[in-house]
Amino acid sequence: MGSDALNVGNLDSLEKSLGAVFERKDLRFLVVDDSGTMRRIIAKCLKDIGADTVIEAADGIDGLVKLKTAGKIDVILTDWNMPNMNGLDFLKKLKADAAYKDIPVIMVTTEAEKSSVLEAIKAGAKNYVAKPFTADVLKSRVEQTLGISK
Ligand SMILES: [Mg+2]
């Protein structure tokens, strides 16, 4: 058996073990965080669970700019504390815009910001995940948000 065949076999079993969570629905995400490291962590988690495309933005203003050319976005994950435009203001801008108001938003908060989650929910956030989070928690929040939790 050649190494190519082995690799294909491994990929097949990997996909099966992941349960093909999103079953190739061409899911596209926007991840907004001023920390490049955090963006990469979240993007990797999303790709691991089947995200097709993950677009990154560094703050709320950048998020609005990226959305203009992003095409279809299924879920937005946004940090709370960011320069230029924070996550809550970004959320409010989205909810005030007919083009974006229906995109579900997951707030990514720190433990200290957890008490503010209610404010974000009132402003239209669909869900939240508190840092530090595990890949499993992020995955279940995304699934909940997409309405595909099992
Ligand atoms: Mg931040």
Rounded to the nearest angstrom, the distance between the alpha carbon of 81 and the centre of ligand 1 is 4
**Most trustworthy range by pLDDT among 18-27, 97-106, 111-120, 128-137:** 97-106
The pLDDT assigned to 21 comes to 56
Q: Is the pLDDT of residue 12 over 90?
A: no
Sorted by sequence, the CB contacts under 8 Å of residue 48 that are 6+ apart come out as 18, 135
Q: Which is the CATH superfamily of the domain at 22-146?
A: Response regulator (3.40.50.2300)
Q: Is the pLDDT of residue 139 over 80?
A: yes
* Distance spanning both ends of the chain, measured CA to CA: 38
Mean pLDDT score of the chain: 87
Ion ligand 1 contact residues with beta carbon within 5 A = 34, 79, 81-82
Rounded to the nearest angstrom, the distance between the alpha carbon of 60 and the centre of ligand 1 is 11
Q: Can you tell me the mean pLDDT for 11-26?
A: 60
Rounded to the nearest angstrom, the distance between the alpha carbon of 71 and the centre of ligand 1 is 25
CB 78 within 8 A of CB 60: yes
Structure tokens at 131: 């840092």
Task: For the chain, give every domain's residue range.
Answer: 22-146
Task: Give how far Cα 115 sits from Cα of 108, 109, 110, 119, 128, Å.
Answer: 13, 10, 10, 8, 11
The pLDDT assigned to 112 comes to 76
Q: What is the pLDDT of residues 69-81, one digit of tens each?
A: 999 999 999 999 9
The pLDDT assigned to 1 comes to 44
Rounded to the nearest angstrom, the distance between the alpha carbon of 148 and the centre of ligand 1 is 28
Rounded to the nearest angstrom, the distance between the alpha carbon of 105 and the centre of ligand 1 is 16
Task: Give the percent of the chain with pLDDT over 70.
Answer: 81
